[in-house]
Every structure is written in structure tokens, then in C-alpha cells.
Amino acid sequence: MRGKFITFEGFEGSGKSTHIKLLARFLRQKGYPVLVLREPGSTKAGELIRKILLNKKNKSIFARTELLLYLAARAQIVEEKIIPALRKGKIVLCDRFHDATVAYQGYGLGLDSRLIDIMGKFATYGVVPDLTLLLEIGIEEGLRRIGRNRDRIEQRSLNYHRRVREGYLKIAKQQPRRVKIVKVDKEIKTTQGQIRRIIAEFLCLSKI
């Protein structure tokens, strides 16, 4: 039995990690085997690459270098973690995946989205999420939630972040069957309720 691959995407400060943890707990209570991952990261190689990418001191990283580093981390996590888990029938919840690269390096940095898709298929072995939850939050509110201690990507200009957000919304519009937009509410419980309703329908659960 093949498992299910569910990704969480969204702008900075949208609360992805919090909602993934809450959803994982909910699914485990329902008896589902769950694996929680983050991108880049969740492997030894991936975590090292993450430190390079997010370190504020690494201001000289070029756009193409950034893209290749993200893809390298993704190739590692797909082969080492995601594919084996799906083969075992697990539900894999991943904080960011290919959509993030299209939004951040494509729309955000202006790299060719078609080339990103081609390289992405190579890095992911053709693995595509069964469902993607896009947590939607305003740019200013998201950055406010992060605070002043921002990583290399979070420190970029408002115009950059606007392009990223617009990119995500375009992806959702282009792939409505896979990508579901979840409006982030001030109350975590309200947002999590929206997420669970989508998951319940996706997994054909009678009760949430």
C-alpha cells in the first residue's frame, strides 16, 4: 500500500511547523503512521545545507547557487526519507517542497520556472505531493510574527516577499485540485480546524 505525501507551503510566519505538529498528533490518534519532515533538512546532509542557506553571514550566495543547494537537499530527503516512508504506507508531512523553490527562487529571484520544474523532477525522482496546504497570511503580519531575528531569506526586501507570495497564489490557481489555500486566523485552533476538514475529506474520514 502506498502512503500519502502531504506538503505544507506558505509565507514566512504562517505557522507551518506548528500546524504540522498538531496535524501529526491528530493523525496518529486516528491510527495513521506519520513521518514529519522539513525542507531543507531532516537528513544529515540536508541539515548541513540548511545551515548554509539560512545563515545571515552568507550574503554572497548567488541565485543559481541557492537553487542548486535547495535541490541537493531535496534529492537527499526524497531518496533517504520520503520514498521509503511512502513504500511503507506512511503519511508523510513535509514543511516545504518543490512549490517553495518555484515561489522563492523562481518568482522571488527571477530564475526560469520551466528550468526549475525540469531540475525539480530530477531532484525529486518524479515524486509529487498528493495534497498541498498553502497557509495564506499577509506579508507584514507574517514578518511581524517572525520578529527581528530573521534568517538570510527572511531578511530580503518586501518586494521580494511580495513576489514570493504572488508566486504561491499563482501556483494554487494553476493547480487547484492539489493545492488548497488555508487562510491563517489569529486563533491557531481555527486554522487547524480548517486544515483538519481538508485532511478529513482527503482521507475520507467520517469524523474530525
Question: Residue 150 has which C-alpha cell?
Answer: 530573521
Q: Where are the domains of the chain?
A: 4-203
Report pLDDT for 29.
95
Question: Residue 112 has which C-alpha cell?
Answer: 526560469
pTM: 0.95
Report pLDDT for 22.
98
Q: How far apart are CA 118 and CA 115, in angstroms?
A: 5
What is the separation of C-alpha 37 from the centre of its chain, rounded to a whole number of angstroms? 10
Place of cell 527572511: 154
Report pLDDT for 122.
97
Report pLDDT for 208.
59
Question: Residue 208 has which C-alpha cell?
Answer: 474530525
Report pLDDT for 99.
98
Question: Residue 113 has which C-alpha cell?
Answer: 520556472
Cβ atoms of residues 2 and 87 within 8 Å: yes
pLDDT over 70, % of the chain:
98
pLDDT in tens, the chain (208 residues): 489 999 999 988 899 999 999 999 999 999 999 999 999 999 999 999 999 999 999 999 999 999 999 999 999 999 999 999 999 999 999 999 999 999 999 999 999 999 999 999 999 999 999 999 999 998 888 888 888 889 899 999 999 999 999 999 999 999 999 999 999 988 999 999 999 999 999 998 765 5
Cβ atoms of residues 82 and 112 within 8 Å: no
CATH number of 4-203: 3.40.50.300
